[in-house]
Structure 1
């Protein structure tokens, strides 16, 4: 039986064992009541003579996980209203790369505001910030839906259902589930914050976790850049009929990239993306000296979302490109297989 002591100064648990910080019943459940009172506290703070000071006090005396979850619900309502007003269901997609860094920055800000040294959280913020900046750059250089249209996948899905069904899907999945998921994948940082009160130093394993995360971001960057280079070369080839350097006519006529990291995995960028949040979860497991904890919900949800999204994307690619089915047979979806490697594997099979 682990004893729970409520800190009179901070809305955080004080536990005798480090592993207990991974216990949902001890580190989350006691603070859930603050969620119901939060909106009333914010309204009351705004009506005082010094609303900014009062709001800061509400912020610092609310458990950071509770306030992060409340923020995700607020984002859900905002994106629901925005998507219905614009008839564009890609609003969450636009903010995808910004929301996790916001949640991690919140944990770092809350820790600093309460005088808690938390270098683990600060390192997590650097990683999340680099991840978000990279995705944001990649999104906007592709156009960022500058035309005002939806992502093509949402357009297809909207064509399947009538308006009321699409509205329900928008409420519970596009707006709510996706925003809550982006909150959940950052919950391991909450455990890093809790443990920082016991051990605020960055030990060698913490450094390794943060460097592995940066390495995965680098892999994702290389994969996206290779995809971008190929698509730009294909665009030039289709416009001028001239084959750009480093590519062959066969590659460009095929229509999809099969070289570089894409020779080993059909979605190396997605593989690295999922691995990033799995490593965040593993970092929290190490920090709390547990093999399993409740923050796995975010990582598992992310894996499930990418599995479904990738399956849908591949169905569209197989319809569009005649050789895509062969590429699927020869190259692993996320984890590399060694039956063959993209176009090289097909050439070996022909021989």
Structure 2
């Protein structure tokens, strides 16, 4: 980041991102209110990051190669995720996670919905996207720091593969009538109970590494930490585990399959 002009450019991108996310989530909330379910916020999740990457590409004065690289990586990841979430939720009811969250929060009034779902999602997106915003105003990557870019792209590829393949495997499983009443424990789902969440986390650690290849991108490390926390403890795996634990066979699945990090499945316990 080169002097005062770099900080000014960052503030412009940061402010534009706030405005964009406010408009995106405002429209999404109204759509959710109209159709009677607020899991449409999951469709806006990927689109929000794509929009911020586009703003960073257009408004950022930093290294053009890194801006385009992050635009492509975030664009591919975000558009795939949003399309997947659209297909997953279309024609179906509310996600049990949001039903439970709103029930604990005192109802489905718009003020509660905005505060508990959309504002939190928007603030989280802005914070998690800080590596993209900061990278857009920093100098080109040089020397040994290029290793961070290579490792970051490799980590992104690993995460994207886990997320996309895991979602595809689950989609085929749930569309098979013979799988009803059973637990998905095949493919990547035999190695981790949440391959999509693990993949998502890996994607954002990869994006951070790319941003960290030029100072002060390394200082945005709390962004992938926050994303991983959301995926594991806040709104992702933990809430899904709570709802899935009521299903027959899930306890046994938990005993033999790693929670988050991929690991060879354990042998079933002897009776």
Q: CA deviation at 1:103?
A: 0.6
Structure 2 residue runs of 5 or longer lacking an equivalent are: none
The residue aligned with 1:227 is 170
Q: CA deviation at 1:225?
A: 1.6
Structure 1 residue runs of 5 or longer lacking an equivalent are: 15-26, 32-62, 238-251
Structure 1 contact 76–179 (Cα < 8 Å) conserved: yes
- Within 5 Å, which residues of 2 pair with 1:130-145? 130-142=76-88, 144-145=89-90
Q: How many residues align?
A: 266
CA distance in 2, matches of 1:88, 1:185: 25
The yes-or-no answer on 1:286 pairing with 2:213 is yes
The residue aligned with 1:350 is 270
CA distance in 1, matches of 2:133, 2:124: 15
Structure 1 contact 216–272 (Cα < 8 Å) conserved: yes
Q: CA deviation at 1:82?
A: 4.0
The residue aligned with 1:266 is 193
The yes-or-no answer on 1:336 pairing with 2:262 is yes
CA distance in 2, matches of 1:297, 1:218: 24
Task: String of CA shifts for 1:158-201, please: whole Å, max 9, x gaps.
Answer: 4445437x5444222311110121222221012222223686xx
The yes-or-no answer on 1:153 pairing with 2:97 is yes
The residue aligned with 2:64 is 118
Could you state the TM-score of these two structures normalised by the residue count of structure 1?
Answer: 0.66
2:182 aligns with one of 242, 247, 255: 255
CA distance in 1, matches of 2:253, 2:174: 17
Structure 1 contact 107–193 (Cα < 8 Å) conserved: yes
Give the direction of change, closer, same or farther, for the CA distance of 1:216–1:198 in structure 2 (3 Å limit). Answer: closer
1:96 aligns with one of 34, 45, 48: 45
Q: CA deviation at 1:324?
A: 0.9
The residue aligned with 1:276 is 203
Structure 2 contact 151–206 (Cα < 8 Å) conserved: no
Give the direction of change, closer, same or farther, for the CA distance of 1:69–1:301 in structure 2 (3 Å limit). Answer: same
- Within 5 Å, which residues of 2 pair with 1:1-351? 5-7=3-5, 12-13=6-7, 31=11, 63-111=12-60, 117-142=63-88, 144-147=89-92, 149-160=93-104, 162-163=106-107, 167-196=110-139, 203-233=146-176, 235=177, 237=178, 252=179, 255-288=182-215, 293=219, 295-306=220-231, 307-308=233-234, 309-320=236-247, 322-337=248-263, 340-341=265-266, 345-346=267-268, 349-350=269-270
Task: String of CA shifts for 1:13-64, please: whole Å, max 9, x gaps.
Answer: 49xxxxxxxxxxxx86xx4xxxxxxxxxxxxxxxxxxxxxxxxxxxxxxx21
Give the direction of change, closer, same or farther, for the CA distance of 1:231–1:151 in structure 2 (3 Å limit). Answer: same
The residue aligned with 1:38 is none
Q: CA deviation at 1:312?
A: 1.7
Give the direction of change, closer, same or farther, for the CA distance of 1:264–1:110 in structure 2 (3 Å limit). Answer: same
The structure with the largest alpha-carbon Rg is 1
Q: CA deviation at 1:212?
A: 2.7
Q: Secondary structure at the match of 2:120?
A: helix
Give the direction of change, closer, same or farther, for the CA distance of 1:226–1:5 in structure 2 (3 Å limit). Answer: closer
Q: CA deviation at 1:85?
A: 4.7
Structure 2 contact 63–137 (Cα < 8 Å) conserved: no
RMSD: 2.9
Structure 1 contact 101–129 (Cα < 8 Å) conserved: yes
Q: CA deviation at 1:78?
A: 3.3
